[in-house]
Amino acid sequence: MRFLLVALGGAVGAPLRYLIDRAVEARHDTAFPWGTFAANAVGSAILGALTGAALSTTVPQQVQLLLGPGLCGGLTTYSTFSYETLRLAEAGSRFLAAANVIVSVLAGLGSVYLGLAVAEAVFR
């Protein structure tokens, strides 16, 4: 049953990542991978909120599996982030590659913290 919950969440998260990426990239004509950046930030915020809710209340393990490794695991993508960073560096855009690493890590951590703080405030 656990496997199915993670698979179901991933089945929603992966297409959602694709849709976010396409929607954001359609609005930005730049080499910077804004779509992956946005998907990772959204997924990090959701995971932070889930963690905050789980720490403040009793969130059933099924919900944690569905949303944590399932939805957020499918929504966020370290492999695409790594590939796009490497692609930028190989194309000679080393500044953008470094900016992608720094800004993505900071945004991910900030999003997790923001989601955690919001959930703790709501559930306390």
Annotated binding site: 73, 76
Annotated binding site for Na(+): 73, 76
Q: Which two tokens stand for residue 15?
A: 């297409």
Task: Give the chain's length.
Answer: 124
Q: HSE (CB half, 13 Å, CA atoms) of 95? A: 0
